Structure 1
Amino acid sequence: MGFLRNMMMGIMGSKTNKQPRLGGFRAALFVYVMAGLENMSFIAIGVSIYTYFFGYMNFSLTKSANTLTNFMGTAYLLSLFGGFVSDTYLSRFKTSVLFGLLEVLGYCLLTAQAHFEQLRPTPCKDITSNILGLCEKSTKSQEALLFAGLYLVAFGISGTKAATPALGADQFDEKDPKEAAKLPTYFNFLIFAMTFGAIIGTTLLVWINQNEGWDLAFGICTISLFAGILILIAGRSVYRHNVLQGSPLVRIMRVLVVAVRNRNLPRPQKTEDFHEIHDEEANNKHGEILPKSDQLKFLDRAAIVRPTTQHTGPWRLCTVTQVEETKIIVRMLPIILSTIFMNTCLAQLQTFSVQQSTTLDPYIGSFKVPSPSLPIIPFLAMFLLLPLYEYVFVPVVRKFTGIPTGIRQLQRIGIGLVLSAISMAVAGAVETRRLRVARENNMIDSPNYLPMSVFWLGYQYTIFGVADMFMLVGMLDFFYAESSAGMKSLGTAISWCSFAFGYYISTVVVNIVNKVSGGWFVSNNLNRDKLNYFYYLLAGLSVLNFGVYLLCASWYKYKVVEVKKVDGIQENGQSGNTEKSSDSIGIEGK
């Protein structure tokens, strides 16, 4: 009854005069539940739907892999749209609910197709038949229904991934140093909740779709996500809701246009001569002022006051804060670009590594481990290590660095990049051993399991799980904290875009490598392909990518914030960072 009462109060709003205490971890708990349930469904689909494409829709190995990576990439890339809508037209709460309902609709379509046999082709009897092209092909209408369901899910995810994490982070006031210091902890436990959901998805839901049917699995995804939306609604009365400040993309465009228009104006010698509004009732409703930085000086021209005031206006003159808001986005671009390749490596664990597992011995005694459940290994690593990171690693390292979070966000991301390179090198070594076992046992063309445990793949999965623990939390914290007050959802969406481009580039890389190498992946048989060479190539490229990241991180300068008077108190802060300068791995910034 208490839950129902809270849910109704969340939907209708409290009618009493008593104002509940807003924000904090109490409010974030509702976000954790929603994020966990949503991620449970999404990850279960992400790790296992490859087998649905191949075994139920009768797609080829290549088409199955490309369909998966394109779906995952689109879901993450569309988060930019979700973030834009959240910051411009809807609150983060409304965006989470409305886009979540679209995601539910997508799962409903997938459930219907999996349940009614006439909506999909007759499944293949075995893998060999599909490889040889002996199975019934899916029709255009059947594929249209599949893609409609998939991309409704992707479109829904675009809003929930952008808005829900930002909604939870909004519950901690960045103007209060004590609350701002809790943001890294919030993101750690946000990923902890999402990881817990992912573990359920890769075990229970994968077992269900493998043994009880895909219609039941999709149905559970539908119901659980809808329950998550109801729980999110139930917490509405205790949320701090963001104030819309108009389109962040329009503000960025204004700065670029005005900077070009003012390119010939003389540059002021003093910082205070650049245009800024310090009025309490001015445009910046959150009271956040960004002081002028020394980087990207050309953009400063957008804040130069013309000699005459007759042509002033939003497309003629910008504030320093608006200019700095644009600079933040521009400075973020090299960071996001240098993290993409790690997610190209991640895509291989969801495609080729899953396919590797189908050739290896999956039994522990009499229990058969489902191949799509292998991604539970990195999730378990994250699930176990995140509390240790928060309660052991951070306090110990804090004593040496003096940084409240132990290490800064860019350093955390860099550690993730290093570990991902190691993971790919280990993957290459494991695949080399798998190929040797196949040759030694004359099983190159055999459909039987090789005499090698599937848990050999656990090494690459575990290392990548630790890499993801550093990388994902660091990115979410970094892009949320560094974004201006009116761009928090868009900043969160930018972090997810790294995944999007990683998946898209995976498809391109596989095709290019296959063409340039003369055919590392042409036989449709992993025992004859050269997947180990591909893994070693990814490891080498990851090392080069880390070098690029070091340069980008050393150039980056953390955002500095001057906060306007709030209730008569003047505050200053720095988006959750204790230093004004940039830092990278082992580099003291400018």
Structure 2
Amino acid sequence: MAGESSISVSGDGEAPASPTRQGGWNTTPFFIATMAGFTLSAGGWLSNLIVYLIKEFNIESIDAAQIFNVVNGCTNFFPLIAAILADSFLGCFSVIWISSLFSLLGLVLLVLTVTVDGLRPPQCESASTCITPSGIQYALLYAALGLGSIGIGGTRYTLATIGANQFTKSNHQTTYFNWYFVTLYVATLIASTAIVYVEDNLSWVWGFGICIVANVFGFAIFLLGSRYYRCDKREGSPFTSIARVIVASLRKRKAVISSQSEDYYYGDKGIVAEAPTKSFRLFNRAALNTEGDTILPNGSISKPWKLCTVQQVEDLKTLIRILPLWSSSILLSTPIGVQASLSILQALTMDRHLGRLHFQIPPGSMLIFTIISSAICLTLFDRCLWPLWTKIVGKNSTPFQQIGIGHVFNVASMAVSALVEAKRRSHHHLQSGSNNIVPMSVLWLVPQLVIVGIGEAFHFPGQVGLYYQEFPSSLKSLSTAMIGSLIGIAFYMSTVLIDFVRRVTAWLPDNINDGRLDNVYWVLVVLGVVNFGYYLVCAWFYKYKDVEVVEGHEDDHFGR
């Protein structure tokens, strides 16, 4: 992808690393195998969580969907904390292996909940005799889910960062991101089908046991390749320097801002002196040399909370400029979270047989259609669509265009979801009044899931490439974790949205056949349209931090 025929081919700038040379393409198989193991492990229990909570813990369907959304929020929010730890203190390598141990411990607790009878409530004999979980049972369940969420959050996006850090060329980083996403989708596909099938038809013990084996496999492969990895040394928290800029600019708020480059502090004498940019000029005072600032003979400063480098000032400006774009993606991902959980509840009420076969599609496997469409589109886009785009338009696509197209597909998916749900609800009422009407096939849910998957193939890689390119070099782990954090917030938002709808309307009762789920989807359509307008405004006013570098990478489909 992106000009590379396979992950073992190094291209024209990154020779395969030898045992004495760290970094390069021979590290990629280790990261890809590690990613596959961890994703199989995580997808095996997370994909089927709603069904597990309903059948094994006697939790009502909407409440199970809410727990599912919270867990998904945690797995996508924890990467932000992992990034802070990686960038500031521990480094990517340590964060990954420590997080994998958390994941393993969480899986062990999940296995205990299905092997020890006293750790889960007895199965329901009828709807009126269901016993809810006790406090201890809930505590053990939440501990398992919490540890598992930390494990997923600490490994998923940190692996993206450490893998990209092995390369110095942008197009090679792009190729790695492509393989990273393909591995993520393919492994999730296998987990959501094969492992979920084992859980539904053999036993939860066997299913969770496979997850444990996959977790151990990923952990072992990651450690096996450690001598080949190029790991950056930590030099303190980059967030401290950001705080210093804010404090220093406040302390110098009465100073007159200069337009002369020689009036500013640059730190390293070898750096080409250029005046700070004019955007957010109030922060330029932090790098302004004023009376009382002490610069030591070695070029460092004795009062770092009063004087900062121009680079530190520009790093803070980069974060401020990109935050509006980042915020526009929250409501882009919120409908995806709502659709993911509610589609499983819809599947539970529909005919899941394939033709006349006895095989039934597990409800937790329905989301594989999103994964399949995303994985296929990622490959087709890189090999066909973007080269064709370049020939027709005359220049490469930009991340903004890719993300914008993703917005459009997302809104379209919610509209299709509303139409399908209206048909499903109408069909159910007809079926209730007549025994001659067969149940509606679960395959009616496929189009909406495929459309949202196509949208993800546009906007997720575009966001990862944009943030990795635009973020300061000291915050590369945070750049990829930003995707996870916004997805996490989006899942929390979906939980809040569902709870709000339940409180003010009758659209989401425990039995969705008695509700109006289609109205919920129409609300998501309206939110998506409004948010798309907000995104267009943010993209219009955004300026790349280095236009010349961006335009120079003609083989890079992510950064423009």
1:3-402 alignment to 2 at 5 Å?
20-125=20-125, 129=126, 132-173=127-168, 179-279=169-269, 292-310=276-294, 313-364=303-354, 365-366=356-357, 367-401=359-393
CA shift in 2, pair 1:534/1:577, >3 Å: farther
Cα shift at 1:323: 0.9
Q: Which amino acid aligns with 1:527?
A: N
Aligned to 1:567: none
Aligned to 1:541: 527
Cα shift at 1:450: 5.5
CA shift in 2, pair 1:379/1:170, >3 Å: same
CA shift in 2, pair 1:136/1:576, >3 Å: farther
CA shift in 2, pair 1:468/1:576, >3 Å: farther
Aligned to 2:482: 494
Distance 2:531 2:479 in 1: 22
Question: Given that residues 87 and 474 in structure 2 are in contact (C-alpha distance below 8 angstroms), is that contact kept between their aligned partners in structure 1?
Answer: yes
CA shift in 2, pair 1:402/1:264, >3 Å: farther
Aligned to 1:10: none
Question: Given that residues 469 and 559 in structure 2 are in contact (C-alpha distance below 8 angstroms), is that contact kept between their aligned partners in structure 1?
Answer: no
Question: Given that residues 337 and 498 in structure 1 are in contact (C-alpha distance below 8 angstroms), is that contact kept between their aligned partners in structure 2?
Answer: yes
How far does the alpha carbon of each residue in 1:473-510 deviate from its partner, in whole angstroms, 9 at most, with x for none? 11222222222121111121111111111110111111
Distance 1:577 1:148 in 2: 46
Distance 2:155 2:340 in 1: 22
Distance 1:69 1:288 in 2: 49
Q: Calculate the aligned-residue CA RMSD, in Å.
A: 2.5
1:565-576 alignment to 2 at 5 Å?
573-574=549-550
Question: Given that residues 244 and 486 in structure 1 are in contact (C-alpha distance below 8 angstroms), is that contact kept between their aligned partners in structure 2?
Answer: no
Question: Given that residues 443 and 450 in structure 1 are in contact (C-alpha distance below 8 angstroms), is that contact kept between their aligned partners in structure 2?
Answer: no
Secondary structure of 2:439's counterpart equals: strand
Question: Given that residues 293 and 306 in structure 2 are in contact (C-alpha distance below 8 angstroms), is that contact kept between their aligned partners in structure 1?
Answer: no
Aligned to 1:485: 473
Question: Given that residues 480 and 488 in structure 1 are in contact (C-alpha distance below 8 angstroms), is that contact kept between their aligned partners in structure 2?
Answer: yes
Distance 2:411 2:455 in 1: 9
1:434-449 alignment to 2 at 5 Å?
434-442=424-432
Q: Which amino acid aligns with 1:407?
A: S
- The share of aligned pairs that are identical, in percent, is 30
Structure 1: gaps of 5 or more residues: 1-17, 174-178, 281-286, 562-571, 585-590
Structure with the higher fraction of residues in strand conformation: 1
Cα shift at 1:355: 0.6
Secondary structure of 1:138's counterpart equals: coil
TM-score for the superposition, normalised by structure 2: 0.90
CA shift in 2, pair 1:319/1:541, >3 Å: same
Aligned residues: 533
Distance 1:241 1:527 in 2: 54
Distance 1:499 1:289 in 2: 39
Cα shift at 1:62: 2.5
CA shift in 2, pair 1:575/1:88, >3 Å: farther
TM-score for the superposition, normalised by structure 1: 0.85
Structure 2: gaps of 5 or more residues: 1-17, 296-301
Distance 2:190 2:526 in 1: 34
Question: Given that residues 290 and 321 in structure 1 are in contact (C-alpha distance below 8 angstroms), is that contact kept between their aligned partners in structure 2?
Answer: no
Question: Given that residues 560 and 573 in structure 1 are in contact (C-alpha distance below 8 angstroms), is that contact kept between their aligned partners in structure 2?
Answer: yes
Question: Given that residues 19 and 228 in structure 2 are in contact (C-alpha distance below 8 angstroms), is that contact kept between their aligned partners in structure 1?
Answer: no
Cα shift at 1:252: 1.2
Q: Which amino acid aligns with 1:150?
A: L
Secondary structure of 1:452's counterpart equals: coil
Aligned to 1:528: 514
CA shift in 2, pair 1:217/1:414, >3 Å: same
Distance 2:379 2:25 in 1: 16
Question: Given that residues 274 and 305 in structure 1 are in contact (C-alpha distance below 8 angstroms), is that contact kept between their aligned partners in structure 2?
Answer: yes
Aligned to 1:8: none
Distance 2:45 2:541 in 1: 38
Distance 1:117 1:576 in 2: 62
